[in-house]
Amino acid sequence: MTEILHIDWTRCDGRGLCTELLPTVLVRDDWGYPLALQATNGNRSNPAISPGNIEAAREAVHLCPKLALSLVPEQAKPRQ
Amino acid sequence: MTIQEAVGPAVDTLRGSAGTYQLFAAGSNAGLAEHEQAFGPLSLAAIDAGFMSVLGESGLTGRGGAAFSSWRKVAATAQGRGAALLPAKPVVIANGAEGEPLSFKDKTLLAHAPHLVIDGLLIAGRAVSASLLYIYTTPAAMPVVEAAVAERRDARKIKVVQAPETFISGEASAVVNSIATGVALPLDNRRRLSAAGLKGRPTLVLNVETLAHVALIARHGSGWFRAAGSERDPGTRLVSISGQGAGQVLEVEGDARLCDVLSSAGVDLSTVGAVLVGGYHGRWVRDLECRLSPSGPGENVINPGAGVLHILPARDCGLEATARILDYLARASAKQCGPCMFGLPAMARVLSAIAYGDRNPRLVLELERLTKLVGGRGACHHPDGTARLVSSALEMFAEDMKAHLLGTCTRETRSAI
Ligand code: SF4
Ligand code: SF4
């Protein structure tokens, strides 16, 4: 099952640790906040994580200083 | 824009579709007696699990903007209790925050028909076996709502809570946050309110107009509701019309044509340049033949959102009007989420530069780039709604944009927003 990396925008402060750990998934936008390189269903906020990136994504979840990241199963779509 | 009196227009200026009033049938400032005389008393005991299917058949959608199927929301909350041994009892909140500056239909409804909203809240509460009921509303509507609640024995468990007058205060998770903590800011959207909202309980947030329709559907049935409107957009909705003359609230049939709605409000169609449909998170429209239905946008259909219709006079500049709104929206960001906090002001700066005479052609590309950049990147829909407005302005006012870049815009600036 694909997992998506959910970014809690109310917490993220954009210092960009996650973009360093996941350079093929996230880049920094104009202000340093993580931006999905590829949109998942038109959404550049919650990128799908491929199996090759899952370890790095877990690390990002653990290391994010703001506890802004979480991995969620793809079905659990965020609230509309 | 003539800023609406806090309580909204008097009922004699409110008109229903084809001359019939439904939501305002009890007249101006209706008290409990007038309410019961017009609609008959509420028999709450008759509301059981079967009401869910009546609501489903009615096809009622939310009138607060998002237009979700109301019964699905109610059903999700009823199920949100889960299978625990001692399931938490749900909470139902009547949302009357109406933070959208161009909307005043909810204030008007609460001022004139508060008992219909209370009925709807009691019915929804019973349908999901709620133990806590709230009405969340602006300071201006508080006295009327509190008086109406005090008038009724059956409304004793309803708490009336004041909403701050901010653009974002009516977003569903901001409503929950406000009641719980006094901070009317949206919560991260991983949390589902139907499962864990206020105090961790399944929470149902319904717009006050939606609840008024619920009260009528409970009395008259789904067939009665569907007699107005169309298959894809049954029932009626309230619209707030502004931008020309005094603000008006009208009750119109679902799927109504925009030109018909404007004509019945007495608007001279030849003076209309464009109409902002759906408010600050909505879209600019020029085709007045289009229909107002949540199934839009599509061929000749536009989503009315919370029912805002704001007229831009033909002589006014749409780019400047949009620049002013965008400036407001940038300031209205709750400044929790980076892309919203920085992206919206950046967009506003670029559009203002274009609107006020900077002729650098790259500004348009920059605005398009920023608009894409903020999409989907916030805890609430504020960035998306803002992006929607800007995209529609770029599309509808493409000619004006060219004129601006050539320095030949001849419209009057200082539009009325
Ligand atoms: S590591 Fe956390 S706080 Fe830092 S940019 Fe990424 S999500 Fe935001
Ligand atoms: S997206 Fe913007 S308005 Fe919405 S919660 Fe985040 S900062 Fe606030």
Query: What number is the ipTM of this complex?
Result: 0.89
Task: State the Cα–Cα distance between residues B72 and B296, nearest whole angstrom.
Answer: 20
pLDDT band at B85 (very low <50, low <70, confident <90, very high): low
Instruction: Tell me which chain B residue has its CA closest to the CA of residue A4.
Output: B190
* Separation in Å, CA of B189 to nearest CA in chain A: 5
pLDDT value for B411: 67
Sheet holding B272-277, edge to edge: B248-253, B236-242, B308-313, B272-277, B283-285
Q: Architecture of A3-73 per CATH?
A: 2-Layer Sandwich (3.30)
Which DSSP helix (H) or strand (E) runs through B110?
helix B105-112
pLDDT band at B50 (very low <50, low <70, confident <90, very high): confident
Residue of B96, B148, B104, B102 whose CA lies nearest to B10: B104
Number of Cβ atoms within 10 Å of the Cβ of B317: 22
Lowest mean pLDDT of A1-10, B321-330, B364-373, name the range: A1-10
Pairing status of strand B236-242 against strand B308-313: parallel
Residue of B357, B366, B372, B356 whose CA lies nearest to B324: B356
CB < 8 Å & 24+ apart, contacts of B257-264: B257/B288, B257/B289, B257/B290, B257/B291, B257/B292, B258/B285, B258/B287, B258/B288, B258/B289, B258/B290, B258/B291, B258/B292, B258/B302, B258/B309, B259/B288, B259/B289, B261/B292, B261/B309, B262/B288, B262/B309, B262/B311, B264/B15
Take residue B245 and report the two structure tokens written for it: 């003359």
Task: Domain ranges for chain A, please list them.
Answer: 3-73
Angle at B365 between CA B364 and CA B367, to 5 degrees: 65
B325 touches chain A (CB under 8 A): no
pLDDT band at B173 (very low <50, low <70, confident <90, very high): confident
Q: CA-based diameter of chain A, in Å?
A: 32
Q: For chain B, give the percent of residues with pLDDT over 90.
A: 61
Angle between helices B114-127 and B51-58 (to 10 degrees): 120
CB contact under 8 A, A33 and B187: no
Q: For chain B, give the percent of residues with pLDDT over 70.
A: 90
Take residue B277 and report the two structure tokens written for it: 């449909």
| DSSP output for B341-366 | HHHHHHHHHHHHHHHTT---THHHHH
Residues 6+ apart with CB under 8 A from A51: none
Task: State the Cα–Cα distance between residues B235 and B253, nearest whole angstrom.
Answer: 6
CB contact under 8 A, B190 and A72: yes
For residue A23, whether the previous peptide bond is cis, meaning omega lies within 30 degrees of 0, is no
* Separation in Å, CA of A51 to nearest CA in chain B: 22
Take residue B3 and report the two structure tokens written for it: 């800023």
Q: Does residue B83 surpass a pLDDT of 70?
A: no
Residues of B within 8 A of A43 (CB-CB) are 376
A44 touches chain B (CB under 8 A): yes
**Are B138 and B38 a contacting pair, CB within 8 Å?**
no
Task: State the Cα–Cα distance between residues A72 and B372, nearest whole angstrom.
Answer: 25
B204 touches chain A (CB under 8 A): no
What is this structure's pTM?
0.89
* Separation in Å, CA of A8 to nearest CA in chain B: 6
pLDDT band at B289 (very low <50, low <70, confident <90, very high): very high
Domains of chain B: 22-226 (3.40.50.11540), 236-313 (3.10.20.600), 318-406 (1.20.1440.230)
Task: State the Cα–Cα distance between residues B402 and B390, nearest whole angstrom.
Answer: 16
Lowest mean pLDDT of A70-79, B63-72, B135-144, name the range: A70-79
* d(CA B339, ligand 1 centre) in Å: 13
Residues 6+ apart with CB under 8 A from B253: B17, B18, B228, B229, B230, B235, B236
**Are A72 and A3 a contacting pair, CB within 8 Å?**
yes
> 3-class SS at A52?
helix
